[in-house]
């Protein structure tokens, strides 16, 4: 029987060698630059990319991606397979080449839906990230049901496993669901105090420190993956991970956005800058709140302070004929600590709108008024 590590190593090295032979010297040079981190630049299609002389840890070449939470029946909303697949197709046709998913997204449904599209695309043309930390196990006594934030979850149970063996098993399972031979980025998922069913998150963090962290670091050294980090909704595990390991980037959901970034500016942002690591921004519109939805992040309860702040931001946006949703994406793209952002979508028009957002400009007076009104942090980067 092939050992998991041997299987992953052989499969990935073979794929990587084939890619280098096909890509040639120019691609190798671009890869070397990207591996060092990088500055934002616009590509010919108008979408932002990481490019130029680069320093720090690995960053994906594409700054705009597609988050897989909503199309996986997130927010308790059922999305048909056909609509989910059409959404991924629309993202691809809009030029988006960065995709994020997870086994936790409706217990495997998200990976299967995303893989239905991506498994038929040229593998070297896109970047895919998924996550480890939960092992899914079938249970014949279960039917379709709501699990946490997921509608119509399939008949699987999950258990937390941040060990090295659990990490390798999770990656193999994800490759099967996605229909792919290799991954680019792997995040250690929900190792965080706000994960309600994790128990003592620091105890689980210690398991990951001895298990998942070194296992993923070895996979990166061996060329099995390009990068790794944590996907969490709280700053504490990010700050702890930077002390004990060398992750490349963090999927920081609900922690850095146009409307809610003050805490990050005094916490994870300087820590990441010092380490040379970066943020993949999850929930960049705060669960659709900045696009006008009446929810905030992953819950239905909206803090009054956020409602008041959104109202004031909308007033400034009207003064300058600016779409606040578009401005929110531009704000994130301006930050040097942000390597990419992955707004989620559940309808084909949404990723198209996100791509179009970067083919527009925001007047400098809009940013100046937001700062003057105290609506953005005094040190927060804004578009030039």
Catalytic residues: 105
State both tokens at 184: 């680019």
List, in sequence order, the alpha helices (H) in the chain.
4-34, 81-93, 109-118, 164-178, 201-210, 212-221, 235-244, 262-265, 268-275, 304-319, 324-334, 349-357, 364-372
Which residue in the block uniquely carries the two structure tokens 């800058």?
273
Q: Is 258 helix (H, G, I), strand (E, B) or coil?
A: coil
Give 223's contacts (C-beta < 8 A, 6+ positions apart). 12, 13, 16
Length, in residues, of the chain: 384
Strands 48-51 and 39-42: antiparallel
State both tokens at 97: 């080449």
Q: At what angle do helices 349-357 and 324-334 cross, to 10 degrees?
A: 60
Q: What is the spatial distance between Cα 339 and Cα 62, in angstroms, rounded to a whole number?
A: 8
Q: Is 206 helix (H, G, I), strand (E, B) or coil?
A: helix
Strands 278-282 and 249-253: parallel
Task: Name which of 109, 86, 75, 48 is nearest 283 in CA terms.
Answer: 75
Q: Is 261 helix (H, G, I), strand (E, B) or coil?
A: coil
Q: At what angle do helices 109-118 and 81-93 cross, to 10 degrees?
A: 50
State both tokens at 228: 């790794």
Task: Name which of 340, 195, 323 is nearest 256 in CA terms.
Answer: 340
Which residue in the block uniquely carries the two structure tokens 């981190």?
37
The Cα-based distances of 80 to 24, 344, 348 in angstroms read 41, 16, 12
State the DSSP H helix or E strand holding residue 283, giving kind and residue range, or none if neither: none
Give the largest CA-CA distance in the chain: 66
């Amino acid at each position: 029987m092939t050992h998991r590590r041997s299987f992953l190593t052989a499969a990935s090295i073979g794929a990587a060698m084939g890619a280098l032979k096909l890509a040639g010297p120019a691609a190798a040079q671009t890869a070397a630059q990207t591996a060092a981190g990088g500055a934002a630049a616009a590509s010919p299609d108008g979408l932002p990319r990481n490019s130029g002389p680069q320093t720090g840890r690995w960053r994906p070449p594409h700054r705009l991606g597609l988050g897989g939470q909503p199309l996986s029946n997130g927010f308790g909303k059922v999305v048909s397979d056909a609509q989910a697949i059409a959404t991924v197709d629309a993202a691809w046709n809009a030029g988006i080449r960065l995709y994020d998913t997870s086994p936790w997204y409706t217990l495997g449904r998200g990976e299967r839906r995303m893989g239905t599209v991506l498994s038929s695309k040229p593998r070297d043309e896109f970047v895919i990230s998924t996550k480890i930390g939960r092992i899914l196990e079938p249970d014949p006594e279960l039917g379709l049901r709501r699990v946490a934030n997921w509608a119509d979850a399939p008949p699987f149970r999950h258990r937390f496993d941040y060990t090295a063996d659990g990490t390798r098993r999770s990656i193999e399972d994800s490759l099967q669901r996605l229909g792919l031979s290799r991954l680019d980025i792997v995040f250690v998922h929900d190792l965080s105090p706000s994960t309600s069913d994790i128990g003592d998150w620091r105890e689980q963090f210690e398991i990951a420190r001895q298990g998942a962290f070194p296992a993923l670091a070895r996979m990166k050294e061996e060329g099995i993956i390009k990068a790794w980090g944590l996907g969490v909704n709280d700053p504490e595990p990010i700050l702890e991970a930077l002390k004990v390991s060398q992750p490349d980037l963090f999927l920081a959901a609900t922690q850095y956005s146009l409307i809610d970034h003050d805490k990050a500016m005094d916490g994870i942002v300087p820590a990441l800058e010092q380490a040379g690591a970066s943020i993949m921004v999850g929930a960049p519109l705060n669960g659709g709140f900045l696009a006008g939805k009446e929810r905030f992040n992953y819950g239905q309860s909206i803090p009054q302070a956020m409602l008041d702040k959104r109202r004031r931001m909308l007033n400034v946006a009207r003064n300058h004929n600016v779409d606040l949703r578009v401005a929110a994406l531009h704000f994130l793209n301006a930050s040097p600590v942000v390597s990419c952002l992955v707004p989620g979508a559940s309808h084909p028009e949404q990723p198209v709108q996100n791509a179009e957002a970067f083919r527009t400009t925001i007047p400098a007076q809009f940013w100046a008024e937001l700062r003057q009104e105290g609506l953005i942090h005094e040190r927060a980067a804004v578009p030039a």
